[in-house]
Amino acid sequence: MTNETLNCSQMLRAIGQLLEALNIESFTLRVDDNDVLVRDRFPRRNREIKVSESLVSAWNSIRARDSRFEDSFHETGVLQFRVAQEDAALLEHDGQERRQNSDKVPELGAPSQILRDVGGIIEHKRGRLLEVSKHDQDIHFEFELPSREIVTERFTVSSLYDYWVTMYLKRSDRSPTKR
């Protein structure tokens, strides 16, 4: 296992990659100490879980941490699990390898990209993530500022992308009018 410390956007992107592998599109993530509690918003009818081979070791580590995972899932069909820092670091490492060996352009509406962008917004505001959820095209997240103020942000997938482009242009000292 690795002791790598991830920033918010790295950790959320890594969890998003796992959500993609589990075919979870609508979800809620809640921070609990240094772990992230993940809950699929919809039950699975067939009660099957399939994960890509590259994520199996991280997924098995996550499942093994919660002795009630299997019973809860088979009773309700809803995936709920806890991702520890070391799990996220392993997921991020696997994701970096896949990204380096891929010619694919990231899908902007994918959970990993959405969560990375949410993490970037929180980092930009020097906040601490409390919760993020996505349902259909709506994204809602809460974070705490250094002043202890709780902030709630709401975006759609497309408005989050627009925000990301605006921030990218500001960071790179470009603007649509300077082209």
Task: Report CA 153 to chain centroid distance, whole Å.
Answer: 16
Residues with Cβ within 8 Å of 120's Cβ and at least 6 positions away in sequence, in order, are: 8, 9, 164, 167
Among residues of the chain, what percentage have pLDDT more than 70?
85
How far apart, in Å, do the first and last CA atoms of the chain sit? 46
pLDDT at 148: 97
Q: Region of 43 please: left (phi>0), alpha (psi -120 to 50) or beta.
A: beta
Q: Are 141 and 153 in contact (CB under 8 A)?
A: yes
The tokens describing 142, both together, are 């809460």
pLDDT in tens, 13-39: 999 999 998 888 999 999 998 899 999
pLDDT in tens, 69-115: 777 887 888 888 999 888 888 888 776 666 555 666 567 788 999 99
Q: What is the average pLDDT across 121-126?
A: 94
Confidence label for 56 from pLDDT (cuts 50, 70 and 90): confident
Confidence label for 154 from pLDDT (cuts 50, 70 and 90): very high
Total Cβ atoms within 10 A of residue 175: 10
Q: What is the average pLDDT across 108-128?
A: 92
pLDDT at 140: 97
Confidence label for 119 from pLDDT (cuts 50, 70 and 90): very high
pLDDT at 1: 42
DSSP 49-99: ----GGGHHHHHHHHHH-TTHHHHHHHH---EEEE-HHHHHHHHHHHHHHH
Torsion 1-61-32-162 (CA) sign? positive
Cα–Cα dist 2/93, whole Å: 9
pLDDT at 66: 76
Compute the mean pLDDT over every residue in the chain, rounded to the nearest whole number.
Answer: 83
Domain ranges in the chain? 8-173
Count of positions (residues) in the chain: 179
Q: Are 22 and 63 in contact (CB under 8 A)?
A: no
